[in-house]
Every structure is written in structure tokens, then in C-alpha cells.
Copies of this chain bind each other. A is one copy, B any other.
């Protein structure tokens, strides 16, 4: 039993009209129950709601409701500072993270507001890009940190070190460092394994490697992963969750390790990860 919810942040970024309408209905519903609401700024601009403040990831809320798809939730999850419980509500295609259907929203919220819910902790990755020039760029990843060549570039060469040890010299289109959460995303398309979401591991999956012996590898989440670009002149990028990116230069290094902060997903009922897999990948009888 969690403590009751007194303040809710609502996010509906990149939202369809359905998400916007759901957001303003939900705001009314919560306000009627004397619960403080902060609403996505983009929605506020469209549907000005008197006295409702804009959602601010730096603020503290008892709950954040995300109306959207997995992509919206990814971006919110990365930005939240504290361990705020996040409830993902599906508006569109069924997601691995946003499993709650819109039709179940209000019955579910009644329970959540009363603290009747579980929380599943998902760890994040910190990805630091250390440029050969000396500057540093920092990212946080929920699904994955990906180093990949541009479409016009030739095959690139990467040196992969783990815990100070050279693991492989990789000639490939790129390399994915994935959390368990991200294992069903890009990692799966690139041939990586599906990973139970709360396991303390990261997955390293090469993208179209030249050497056929280069296979996905599952490593401890606390590993110090360092990848340096050994190819000059080609256009290469580090991108995070497919949403943010920087270009990568010759001998720039990307360090990836488990983040100190994590994401808390609200879990309801007895639906498990395996039920999602069975449904989404068609594994049923």
C-alpha cells in the first residue's frame, strides 16, 4: 500500500486530439477529487485551463500520468528527477510500457489514488560522450544508447572495453547498449535477446557486424562499458532512446553505465511481462 496521491502531473506530448481531450477530462476529474494537477504545457496552450499550472519535470508529484505511446513515456521517464510513479496510458498502438487502455483509465485511477498499486523499478543508463576535444555530453537512456553510422557512411570500427578490458574490435553499422526495458525495442530488431525487465543486466548487440562471430552479449548492469570510435572521417552518431543524439568524432569515447536514478512504473492487476510478450509477439496457443 502506497501513500495516497495528492498531486498528479499529466503529460501528453506529441499528442493526438484524443490524448489532448483525455488530458483535459482527466484534469477535471482529478480537480473534482481535490487533487492538485499540473498539465502538459502543449495541452494548456491549446485548451487553456484556468489556474492549472504547467507540468514541470523538476517539480515533485505523487504520480505522473502519461497519455501517449511508449515513445512519450520514454521521454518523460528520462526527464523526471525523482522516483515518481509513472502510469502509462495507451493512446494508440499497444505498447510494452503503456499497457493501460484508455477505457480502463478511471477505474484504475480510483485504485491508484487510494494507493492500491504496485511499482516496478526499471533502471536507466547514463551515457557520457567524451569528445577527443575534451568536452563532455551527458544523456540518460531508458531503452538504449546506440552508436551507429549514418546511411551514407561505410562500415565503422569501434573498440569495446568493459571494466577496462578490450572485449572486441567491432566492424559494423553500430552497437546497441540496451537496458532490459529496451530489449524488446531496437535490440530485438538487431537480433538481440528478450530480457526480463527487472534483471540487473545490460545487453550489447552489434548492428550488422562484419564478423559473423560477433553476437549479442548480456553483461552485469554495473559494468563500465566504454566504446571508442576508431574510424576517421565517417559520420557517426550516439543516440539515446531514438530521441536525442550527438554526432561522434574520431577517437571520441562513449561511456555507459547504470544510472543512480531509476524509473518507477505503476503496475496493476496480475498482468505480467510474459503476458505482454505472448500478446505482442503472438506466442499464444
How many copies of the polypeptide does the oligomer hold? 4
Number of interface residues of A (CB under 8 A): 66
Contact of A193 among B159, B170, B203, B283 (CB under 8 A): B203
Interface window among A105-113, A213-221, A251-259: A213-221
A151-B174, A196-B218, A274-B167 known; A212-B209 Cβ under 8 A = no
Q: Mark A162-181, 1 if CB is under 8 A from B, else 0.
A: 11011111101110000000
- Given B190, B201, B239, which contacts A151 in the complex, CB threshold below 8 Å? B239
Contact present for B214 and A167 (CB under 8 Å): no
A194 CB within 8 Å of chain B: yes
Instruction: Assess whether B208 is in contact with A189, with CB atoms less than 8 Å apart.
Output: yes
| Distance from A124 Cβ to chain B, minimum over Cβ atoms (Å) | 19
Contact assessment for A193 and B218 in the assembled complex, using a CB-CB cutoff below 8 Å: yes
Partner of A169 from the list B190, B208, B214, B285 (CB cut-off 8 Å) is B285
Cα separation A165 to B272 with both chains bound (whole Å): 8
Complex CA–CA separation, A152 to B191 (angstroms): 20
Give the docked Cα–Cα distance between A83 and B61 (Å).
50
